Amino acid sequence: MRIVYLKMAVAISACVVVLFACRKNAATEQLTTPSEEALGKIYNLGFSNKNVRIDEDGNYVVEGDIILSRADLDAAPGMQFFRVGVEEQYRTNNLVTGPRVIKVSLSSKLPTSYRAALDEALARYNAENLSLTFQRVSSGADISIIKGNGNFLASAGFPTSTGQPYSQIKVNSNAMNGQPQGTVASVLAHEIGHCIGFRHTDYMNRSYSCGGQAVNEGASTAGAVYIPGTAVGPDPNSWMLSCIGSGQNRPFNANDKIALNFLY
């Protein structure tokens, strides 16, 4: 998810509340920073160019947990969309073609407890009777959940122009150590949401779920398409909010279900 996007804090006091981020900062800062040219391209694609990092594979991590490759930065959007309202449900231009079964695998390097959490996340989607159904597999996956080693909690990308889901979710299990199954399931469901084309619900103001300075995630260009019928004001429990609190569980709320059923 950009499930939780606030930077991870070292717990010095028992009273400290930790927020995770879909690609949250964990321990150290990346030494490699993007160029001004790259930041400009990220902004022109409709993403926030604040706090952008480069991961271990050379990809850009934007908005806390969204992966953009160097090729993505040079892609020319085919059309332009205006962002409207304040906090609403948004999708990307590319969606996954269906009906189909999306197969999801879980790396053996991740804790075995993640299996139950992944099953819970997939069950949340399957309960909505969408044109996409989800199945956990050991091989031949459309989406592979692997162990990540970066500075963040989890990250994923968006569907391809040919209608395929983004193929990989990276999870830093060390940063999520000790979290209950519901929280892990919510993180995985959030990242799967990115893989099938969802952007953050608090797209226009990430401070709504993350705190801190209000940030509007980019310019009015391709990649942030309003989903009709969803909330036009703050939606406190959406599974696609940028940040989630430690121990919090976020199954789909009413607006989430509207968005899922509208698209799939």
Cα four-point dihedral sign 52, 232, 8, 68: negative
**137-178 tens-digit pLDDT:** 999 999 999 998 766 789 999 898 899 999 999 998 988 889
Question: Tell me, what's the pLDDT at 8?
Answer: 31
Predicted pLDDT at 162: 92
Q: With a cut of 70, which residues of the chain have pLDDT below it?
A: 1-32, 46, 76-92, 150-151, 203-204, 206, 212-229, 231-234
CB 202 within 8 A of CB 209: yes
**For residue 127, what pLDDT is reported?**
98
Start-to-end CA span in the chain (Å): 19
- Residue 224 has a pLDDT of 53
Cβ pair 241, 250 in contact under 8 A: yes
Q: Quickly list H helices, the chain.
A: 36-44, 70-73, 113-126, 181-195, 207-210, 254-263
Quick one: DSSP state of residue 253? -
Numbers of helices and strands, H then E, in the chain: 6, 12
Q: What's the pLDDT at 191? A: 96
Domains, the chain: 36-263 (3.40.390.10)
pLDDT of residue 40: 82
Give this prediction's pTM: 0.77
